[in-house]
Homo-oligomer: A and B are copies of this chain.
Amino acid sequence: MKSKDFGNYIKTLREQKNIPQRIVAHKLDIDTSTLSKIELGERPLTIDMIPGLAEILEIDFKSLQIKFISEKLLSDYKGQPYFVEAVKKMLTNIKK
């Protein structure tokens, strides 16, 4: 997901803990150039990065995962006709 908001969010957390990009990038197995662009919203952050991010930034994985998915759903589908109806149908389908 390319997102200025989400990128800025994790950048702020990183800076609050004084962790350089170098450390986070290594954990995510990408280079600092890519991480910089992710933080600036110029490259996508993928869902498989969330566990490593949560661990290295020492934040709750569950919250971060939920934040990531919910924001991605909105950015992907906001404005699509019947999106809410589709989500509700999906939820009921899961339960069966």
Task: List the interface of chain A (C-beta within 8 A of B).
Answer: 47, 61-62, 65-71, 73-74, 77, 80-87, 89-91, 93-94
Q: How far is the CA of A83 from the CA of B73 in the complex (A)?
A: 11
Q: Using Cβ atoms and an 8 Å threshold, which residues of chain B touch A68?
A: 86
Q: How many copies does the complex hold?
A: 2
Q: Using Cβ atoms and an 8 Å threshold, which residues of chain B touch A81?
A: 61-62, 65
A65 near B87 (CB under 8 angstroms)?
A: no
Chain B min CB distance to A12 (Å): 20
Q: Using Cβ atoms and an 8 Å threshold, which residues of chain B touch A89?
A: 66, 70
B87 near A70 (CB under 8 angstroms)?
A: yes
Say yes or no: A82-B66 contact (C-beta < 8 A), given A73-B87, A87-B73, A87-B87: yes
Pick the residue among B47, B80, B82, B90 that contacts A74 (CB under 8 A): B90
A86 near B65 (CB under 8 angstroms)?
A: yes
B66 near A86 (CB under 8 angstroms)?
A: yes
Q: How far is the CA of A83 from the CA of B66 in the complex (A)?
A: 7
